[in-house]
């Protein structure tokens, strides 16, 4: 038997001797863990928020318009607040009025000196014990008046804080950073908690939604990375991470849902785009 024929026979014998599992593993190592085709997906906002007013009142200012980017905490609209502004001024005057406390402190200081003076006189039998006892009672009453005056001042300061909060609630603020997609309110309209003033879309991160065949379910893991291909008009690719994997399958279509987070800190990617999705293999440590 010639050497080429011998080599061919040995290779054939080795191939037949390999266990089926090893053969499948070698075959799989030659291809990606996922099919070559990219799954279809769609890019959506992380959240859609319908912003309403915590307080009832007439809209006097709308400070943003459709297409504006807003930051968390930014004032986007205001309600009429003349009454709340007046109440705040009155509360501030009461909170800053320390005359009653100062007067009570002066009475305590005077009564303390009076007790000390009468105690000294009583020790020399110049003043009676009854005079000393009366002075001590008057000191106790003065101290109680000081406690009461401080409590009243504390209540006034608490009322001032409440008035500040009530005035602040006349400002409608963005709860998160996002894009204004709709302005529903108008100047002069009556706002309340059931009436939408404007709508915000949170665009960082974006959410990538896809439906995959159920045979891919065992191959997916949370935090797994995937390449998102965005077509016309952007024609770009970005990396995303798996943030949710549905555990309830759709029996009719034989698919399950997957959600990925797509970073969009620069705001360059809009939502509502169709995309393609290709998963990277999971590292062996996972």
With a CB cutoff of 8 Å and minimum separation 6, the contacts of 191 are 52, 53, 55, 56, 57, 58, 59, 77, 79, 172, 185, 197
Report the distance separating Cα 269 and Cα 176, nearest Å.
Answer: 18
pTM of the model: 0.70
CA within 13 Å, CB half, 219: 15
Hey, how many other C-beta atoms are within 10 angstroms of the C-beta on 144?
Answer: 12
Dump pLDDT digits (tens) for 192-229: 999 999 999 999 999 999 999 999 898 899 999 999 99
Which band of pLDDT confidence, cut at 50, 70 and 90, is reported for residue 124? confident
| Percentage of residues of the chain with pLDDT beyond 70 | 85
* pLDDT for residue 233 is more than 90: no
52 close to 194: Cβ distance less than 8 angstroms: yes
CATH entry 2.40.30.170 includes domain 33-46+203-279: yes
Which band of pLDDT confidence, cut at 50, 70 and 90, is reported for residue 283? low
Q: Identify whether 233 is preceded by a cis peptide bond (ω within 30 of 0).
A: yes
Which band of pLDDT confidence, cut at 50, 70 and 90, is reported for residue 148? very high
Q: State the average pLDDT for the chain.
A: 86
Dump pLDDT digits (tens) for 93-123: 999 999 999 999 999 999 999 888 888 887 8
Hey, how many other C-beta atoms are within 10 angstroms of the C-beta on 224?
Answer: 20
Candidate CATH numbers 3.30.565.10, 2.160.10.10, 2.40.50.100, 3.30.1780.10; the one for domain 48-81+170-201: 2.40.50.100
Q: Which two tokens stand for residue 87?
A: 């109440």
76 close to 65: Cβ distance less than 8 angstroms: no
Report the distance separating Cα 53 and Cα 196, nearest Å.
Answer: 8
Phi and psi dihedrals of 188, rounded to 5? 90, -10
237 close to 228: Cβ distance less than 8 angstroms: yes
The full set of domain ranges for the chain reads 33-46+203-279, 48-81+170-201, 83-168
């Amino acid at each position: 038997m010639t050497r080429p024929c011998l080599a061919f026979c040995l290779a054939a014998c080795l191939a037949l001797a390999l266990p089926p599992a090893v053969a499948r593993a070698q075959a799989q190592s030659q291809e990606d863990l996922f099919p070559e085709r990219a799954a279809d997906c769609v890019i959506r906002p992380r959240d859609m928020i319908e912003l309403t007013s915590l307080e009832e009142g007439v809209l006097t200012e709308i400070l943003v318009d459709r297409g504006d980017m807003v930051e968390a905490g930014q004032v986007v609209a205001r309600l009429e607040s003349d009454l709340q502004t007046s109440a705040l001024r009155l509360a501030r005057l009461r909170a800053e009025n320390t005359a009653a406390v100062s007067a009570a402190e002066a009475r305590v200081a005077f009564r303390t000196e009076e007790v000390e003076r009468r105690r000294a006189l009583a020790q020399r039998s110049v003043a009676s014990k009854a005079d000393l006892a009366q002075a001590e009672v008057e000191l106790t009453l003065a101290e109680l008046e000081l406690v009461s005056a401080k409590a009243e001042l504390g209540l006034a300061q608490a009322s001032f804080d409440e008035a500040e909060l009530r005035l602040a609630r006349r400002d409608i603020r963005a709860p998160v950073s996002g894009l204004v997609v709709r302005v529903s309110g108008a100047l002069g309209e009556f706002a309340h908690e059931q009436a939408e003033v404007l709508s915000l879309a949170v665009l960082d991160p974006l959410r990538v939604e896809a439906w995959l065949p159920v045979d891919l379910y065992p191959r997916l893991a949370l935090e797994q990375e995937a390449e998102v291909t965005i077509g016309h008009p952007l024609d770009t690719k970005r990396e995303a991470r798996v943030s949710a994997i549905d555990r309830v399958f759709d029996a009719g279509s034989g698919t399950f849902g997957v959600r990925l987070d797509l970073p969009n800190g620069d705001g360059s990617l809009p939502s509502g785009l169709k995309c393609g999705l290709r998963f990277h293999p999971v590292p062996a440590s996972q």
